[in-house]
């Protein structure tokens, strides 16, 4: 599969990942500086890519968490960059695929084990809150969350149904960390989370929905 997956093909609105890089702040700043990112600029890069005629967005953000450490957020969205990151010129925030892969190799080199992340998956949703929960006529929630437990009463994921302007989403956040690739970094980096998201889409009954 290509490095960036086709989210719309599985009716996935987005896949978001976050990770903490211990002791990696200075190396990450130096890395992006060598790729043209000036110190003091917003620590954000993004690019568009197309799959089956549908424009997607890939993005990355990073911030210092404390003295020597860094928090990193990665996102893939089934919308064009101007919708996800408005008022930011694409030419100033351009993320090259090769630089993205090289960055992941840098992150992988900071740890002895494969990269693991916290993940969130978003799916278009066409139901009403009233379809699965009884509400007072005076209550108009924007989101409702459910904690999913396994047979041992242990929390395995948080599912949030959320109304947003112009769309509604079902957001699934599995508990714990997901190991999404082993070294070296290849085009298969997003394969495991993408397959997981496709399974979740089917389980939520989203396969017949179209990503907005």
Condensed to tens digits (0 to 9), the pLDDT of residues 108-157 reads 887 666 788 999 999 998 776 666 677 777 777 777 888 888 888 888 88
pLDDT at 55: 97
Condensed to tens digits (0 to 9), the pLDDT of residues 15-54 reads 999 999 988 899 999 999 999 887 667 899 999 999 999 9
Instruction: Tell me which residue of 10, 16, 11, 6 sits closest to 174, measured CA to CA.
Output: 16
Q: Tell me the C-alpha distance between 12 and 124, whole Å.
A: 7
- Could you tell me the pTM of the whole model? 0.87
pLDDT at 42: 86
pLDDT at 129: 66
């Amino acid at each position: 599969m290509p490095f960036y997956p086709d989210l719309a093909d599985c009716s996935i609105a987005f896949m978001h990942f976050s990770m903490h890089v211990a002791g990696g702040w200075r190396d990450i700043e130096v890395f992006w500086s060598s790729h043209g990112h000036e110190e003091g600029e917003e620590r954000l890069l993004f690019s568009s890519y197309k799959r089956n005629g549908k424009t997607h967005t890939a993005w990355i953000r990073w911030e210092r968490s404390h003295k020597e450490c860094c928090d990193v957020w990665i996102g893939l969205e089934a919308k064009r960059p101007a919708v996800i990151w408005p008022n930011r010129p694409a030419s100033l925030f351009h993320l090259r695929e090769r630089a993205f892969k090289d960055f992941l190799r840098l992150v992988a080199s900071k740890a002895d084990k494969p990269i693991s992340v916290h993940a969130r998956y978003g799916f278009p949703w066409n139901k009403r809150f009233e379809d699965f929960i009884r509400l007072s006529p005076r209550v108009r929630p924007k989101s409702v969350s459910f904690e999913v437990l396994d047979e041992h009463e242990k929390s395995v994921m948080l599912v949030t149904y959320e109304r947003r302007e112009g769309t509604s989403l079902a957001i699934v956040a599995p508990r714990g960390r997901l190991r999404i690739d082993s070294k070296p970094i290849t085009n298969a980096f997003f394969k495991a989370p993408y397959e997981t998201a496709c399974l979740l889409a089917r389980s939520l009954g989203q396969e017949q929905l179209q990503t907005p």
